[in-house]
Amino acid sequence: MLYDTIGRKESEWAGMTASQIRGVGEQSGSVLVIPVGSVEQHGDHLPVVTDTLLVEAMVDTAIERLDDVPVVVTPPVWSGFSPHHLSFGGTLSLEFAHLRATLEDIAHAGIQNGFDAVLFVNGHGGNSSLIDAVVSTVGADTDAEVLGTTYFQLASDRIEEIRTTETGGMAHGGEFETSLMLTLRPDLVGGPAVRDGEPMDEHYRWGGQDLLDGGNVAVYRSFDEYSSSGAIGTPKQASAETGERIRSVIGDELAALMTAIHEYNA
């Protein structure tokens, strides 16, 4: 529960005092990190909070690797844009315009504390175009540097070397997310008997096939057109060992990005 966990990390906005937050924001090259997740179905073997849990964990992993970078992390924005998951139930989705306005407001309020840069870290594929839009809308209205990234696309080349599945196996609720959850919260992962996923079957070969292969053509489909369980990919091949290797790679890459943002804006 939040009441039992807030304030355990030095860079955690929610556990700091207002003066402490302003103190970090006023440092040269300060970075405000805003994790953005979702609450949506992930098949029968993963909890609906998977995207929010993972993006917060990846940011935390990166923060642990930083050296003298003034950074503060806001509480994660836990609801994303997920209309394509609603048919399965268990999904809480905001309207595109509502989520965009929420992220813009959070960023502007954060910048008022003196931060030189804002980094949105996204953990849900359905948020990607929205994050890109917010980078532009906030960036045009502030002197702070505004950036956005989707964490699982940051180090795709290195993750390709780690995976044990072919393209499509690391789709929604597949090897990638299940492995990370087995590393971080194995108690929330269903057993092998319910780790069912179906191969990605997108009609257009230019469309997305995998978390690491978003494709060059966007097409809207409700997820029940892809899968009867809501999971796509090969979660049965997931392992905690693979998850730890993925976590390390992403942590390194995200930390390198935060360091580069700090140095450029100092």
At 209-222, the pLDDT tens digits run 888 888 888 888 88
Q: According to the model, what pLDDT value does residue 71 have?
A: 98
**pLDDT confidence of residue 216:** 83
What's the pLDDT at 68? 95
In tens digits, what is the pLDDT along the chain, a chain of 266 residues? 778 888 888 999 999 999 999 999 999 999 999 999 999 999 999 999 999 999 999 999 999 999 999 999 999 999 999 999 999 999 999 999 999 999 999 999 999 999 999 999 999 999 999 999 999 999 999 999 999 999 999 999 999 999 999 988 999 999 999 999 999 999 999 999 999 988 877 778 888 888 888 888 888 888 788 888 889 999 999 999 999 999 999 999 999 999 999 999 99
Query: What is the per-residue pLDDT for 227?
Result: 84
Cβ atoms of 54 and 47 within 8 Å: the answer is no
Specify whether the backbone of 233 is left (phi greater than 0), alpha (psi in -120 to 50) or beta.
left
Phi then psi for 190, rounded to 5 degrees?
A: -65, 160
Apex CA 72: angle with CA 33 and CA 99, to 5°? 35
Buried-exposed string 235-264: b where 16+ CB fall within 10 A, e elsewhere? bbbbebebbebbbbbbbbbbbebbbebbee
SS (H, E, C) 195-246: CCCECCCCCCCCCCCECCECCCCCCCCCHHHCCCCCCECCHHHCCHHHHHHH
Task: Please tell me the distance from the alpha carbon of residue 1 to that of residue 10, in angstroms, as a whole number.
Answer: 18
Q: Say how far apart CA 136 and CA 145 lie, in whole Å.
A: 10
CA of residue 69 relative to chain centroid, distance = 21
**Under 8 Å between Cβ of 198 and 169:** no
Q: How many CA atoms lie within 13 A of 108 on its CB side?
A: 13
Average pLDDT of the residues of the chain: 94
pLDDT at residue 104, rounded to an integer: 98
Please give the domain boundaries of the chain with CATH numbers for all domains: 2-265 (3.40.50.10310)
Strand partners of residue 213:
210
Q: Where are the alpha helices (DSSP H) in the chain?
A: 2-5, 18-25, 50-64, 96-111, 128-140, 156-162, 175-184, 240-265
Q: What pLDDT was estimated at residue 228? A: 84
pLDDT of residue 189: 98
**12 three-state secondary structure:** strand
Q: What is the pLDDT of residues 146-195, one digit of tens each?
A: 999 999 999 999 999 999 999 889 999 999 999 999 999 999 999 999 99
Residue 221: predicted pLDDT: 82
